[in-house]
Structure 1
Amino acid sequence: MAAMHQEESFWLDATLDKREYGDLCAALELRARSGRPMPGFQLKGAELNGVNLVNHGGHHGYILHQADLYRANLQNAHLFALDLRGSSLMKADLRHANLHCADLRDCNLLGVRLDGARLDNVIWDRQLLQERKGRELAQRGNPAAALQYFQEAEETYRNLRLHLERAGLFEQAGLFFHREMVVRRLQLPRYSAQRLLSWLVDLFSGYGEKPLNVVLFSLGLIGLCGLLYFLVGVEQGGQRLGLDLGQGLLANLMDLLDCLYFSVVTFTTLGYGDISPHGLARPLAAFEAFVGSFTMALFVVVFVKKMTR
């Protein structure tokens, strides 16, 4: 019992320089194979080149929560399915390491080196630690401290995106590019034209990563303009199409469908001419045609970007 307590103290003591320990890799592997969780292990700057922390034959990987791996050398390490939640991997060297299926949620990944690392099916946070902290500080009214975290988050997202692109994992790289642009927006003055424009680009296209947003916006605008045409009225063959309380429900419904058809034709700038706007419908049609031509061009750009990765 005393030996076990002494061993535990060794791993949890942040004052000990683990680099001076003889065969740290073998000791850590032996500790992992004991099956006991390894929370809070202090491995700052540890030399763990080629360490094997794979739980062979187990249904789950070993648990290494809240570990301090700041500047640790983990080159060529075998970390398949390792649960590293809450750990600090800040500036850790994970070049050519196997991180397949590893859990990196709540980890500090600022400055981590991942050249040649295997990153398939890694479990990432939707929002990295720095972004969450920055948002919390911004909500508490501390923009200066929040700005620092947002800058760190942008740097981390960019670093991860680049490594994922090199590894051919473009879907995940696209998600990190989106988060990178979001935290860049959060660094802009709160009530500025730049921030508003950036938000609109995110809303309409997810910074080029969400073609579905463009489609949904298009359908929404077509539906809204069709309803407005129905309220203000358009003309077909000299007859008015639009809301008429003197008509029955079926007649109004048919006019509404005609107005939606006119909205589609206007949005796509086809302009068949069978239905024409008049009065207030004219500026509305001009606005819809302008936005429609821009939106279709945007969709082509976003779609091509996604398909050519």
Structure 2
Amino acid sequence: MRSQTCSFKSSKGWCCDQPAGQSGLCYWHDPDIDKCGHDVKADVEKWAASGKPLDGFQLARTDLTDIDLVNRGSREGYSCQGADFYRANMAEAHCFGLDLRGASLMKANLLRANLNCARLDGSNLLGADLARAGLENVDWGKELKQERLAYKERDPARRKSLFQEAEEVCRNVRKQCEKQGLFEVAGYFFKKEMRFRRYQMPKLSFRRWLSKIVDLFCGYGEDPLRVVIFSVLVIVSCALAYFALGTTQSNPIYPDVTGWQRYFYELLNAVYFSVVTFTTLGYGDISPHGVARFIAAFEAFLGSFTMALFVVVFVKKMTR
């Protein structure tokens, strides 16, 4: 009688050809088989070397110390999508270029593991020990697993819990990247960390709105370009207000200009006055009147604050 084969089928359409147990799954894909005390490292390496994917492998709590899963001679690493490495000991593992999309590395020991060029999109990194792990050129993907689930979750308590987990993952990755000098990646995860913290606050709370404003202004200190864009928007907006409300000047600069050219020059004057006011230079050759005075006072206050913010953000980025 022909034995039944494993019913596992990967997202890419690959079907496992191993004999199945009573659960309909083989030894490698059955999550109910405890492999904690089994010496599986050599078998896993042999399986990968044979060219078959490691998709969906259930390797929770296994000892995979110094395992070699590098696909040498190929631009693409071994496929290990959706695998379960929960609490697995993968210290000093060689996982260069390994495709770990959707895999669970929750509380896995990745001490000094080589994860350079690995693909971790959608993987679960909650509680993973990434101390001194190689993290250069890692493809982190657009969303963390907890982040993706939180956006779909309708229960407020569960959604808050998922954002807490996502914040913890970002903090862990950020700290390890900072220690390795990967400051661009660290900055990226710092912004995500602060956003996930904001999502845990009540929607109508002052702290949440303040956090949102800081994010819009400067990306939590990681995006100086946002400060520049905000400054330009303020200058242009105030210039249009000055042009509409009118300004006065002691000596007309264009006494003989009429028609549309006069309005054009007046607009240039408004832009000039807006720049001078925003930068708090205050030459005094053009002065506002009426409501424009209050707009000028507000712009001067906002300009001094924005320039100080830009210096702080710029210095923070450059000193790295």
* Aligned-pair CA distance for 1:21: 2.1
- 1:252-267 correspondence to structure 2 within 5 Å: 252-267=263-278
Q: Secondary structure at the match of 1:290?
A: helix
Pairing 1:49–2:65 present? yes
- Specify the alignment match of 1:216 in structure 2: 229
Moved over 4 A (4+): 1-4, 238-241
- Specify the alignment match of 2:30 in structure 1: 13
Take 2:259 and 2:26, find their aligned partners in 1: how far apart are those partners? 83
The normalised TM-score by structure 2 is 0.90
Take 2:239 and 2:115, find their aligned partners in 1: how far apart are those partners? 52
Take 1:78 and 1:284, find their aligned partners in 2: how far apart are those partners? 61
* Contact 2:38–2:62 (8 Å) recurs in 1: no
Take 1:147 and 1:32, find their aligned partners in 2: how far apart are those partners? 39
- 1:98-247 correspondence to structure 2 within 5 Å: 98-137=114-153, 140=154, 142-237=155-250
Pairing 1:303–2:301 present? no
Structure 2 portions without partners, runs of 5+: 6-16
- 1:256-295 correspondence to structure 2 within 5 Å: 256-295=267-306
Take 1:169 and 1:226, find their aligned partners in 2: how far apart are those partners? 41
* Aligned-pair CA distance for 1:247: 5.0
**In the TM superposition, what whole-angstrom CA distance separates every residue of 1:56-92 from its partner, at most 9, and x where no partner exists?**
0012100001001100000000000000000000000
**In the TM superposition, what whole-angstrom CA distance separates every residue of 1:99-118 from its partner, at most 9, and x where no partner exists?**
01000000011000011111
Q: Secondary structure at the match of 2:248?
A: strand
- Specify the alignment match of 1:27 in structure 2: 43
Take 1:126 and 1:288, find their aligned partners in 2: how far apart are those partners? 37
Take 1:133 and 1:37, find their aligned partners in 2: how far apart are those partners? 26
* Aligned-pair CA distance for 1:237: 1.7
Structure 1 portions without partners, runs of 5+: none
**In the TM superposition, what whole-angstrom CA distance separates every residue of 1:236-282 from its partner, at most 9, and x where no partner exists?**
226599xxxx9522221111011000000000000011111111110
**In the TM superposition, what whole-angstrom CA distance separates every residue of 1:267-307 from its partner, at most 9, and x where no partner exists?**
00000111111111100000000000000000000001111
Kindly provide the amino acid, as one letter, of the partner of residue 67 in structure 1: A
User: How many pairs were matched up?
Assistant: 301
Kindly provide the amino acid, as one letter, of the partner of residue 242 in structure 2: Y
Give the superposed CA RMSD: 1.8
Take 1:287 and 1:125, find their aligned partners in 2: how far apart are those partners? 42
Q: Secondary structure at the match of 2:167?
A: helix
* Aligned-pair CA distance for 1:37: 1.8
* Contact 1:64–1:85 (8 Å) recurs in 2: yes
- Specify the alignment match of 1:70 in structure 2: 86
Take 1:126 and 1:286, find their aligned partners in 2: how far apart are those partners? 42
Take 1:27 and 1:127, find their aligned partners in 2: how far apart are those partners? 32
Take 1:171 and 1:130, find their aligned partners in 2: how far apart are those partners? 22
Q: Secondary structure at the match of 1:108?
A: coil
